[in-house]
Amino acid sequence: ELADAQETFVREYGLSLVGGCCGTTPEHLRQVVERVRDLSPAVREPRPEAGASSLYQTVPFRQDTAYMAIGERTNANGSKKFREAMLEARWDD
């Protein structure tokens, strides 16, 4: 499945760097390399646009009369130290 997905990204979206993450085994990577070794990434024509992005979406920076608020989501599950600071209302931490 990893090799299938990365082949699609190379062929359809022009991905030029493939790899794995936590839990990726040498066998996973062997299959990925076999699958993409001889592929040429799809041609890309990026059109940069200034904006802010999150895990879920991008909001372009455009000047208009609409109100735009930019905030940061917190993840108390990712850090014990951060979670304790939030529970103790230590906002400066």
SS (H, E, C) the chain: CHHHHHHHHHHHHCCCCCCCCCCCCHHHHHHHHHHHCCCCCCCCCCCCCCEEECCCCEEECCCCCCCCCCCCCCCCCCCHHHHHHHHCCCCCC
Identify the pLDDT of residue 51: 92
How high is the pLDDT of residue 80? Answer: 87
Model confidence, pTM: 0.51
pLDDT in tens, 2-46: 999 999 999 999 999 999 988 999 999 999 999 999 999 989 888
Domain locations along the chain: 2-36
> 65 falls in which pLDDT band (50, 70, 90)?
confident
Contact 60, 42 (CB under 8 A): no
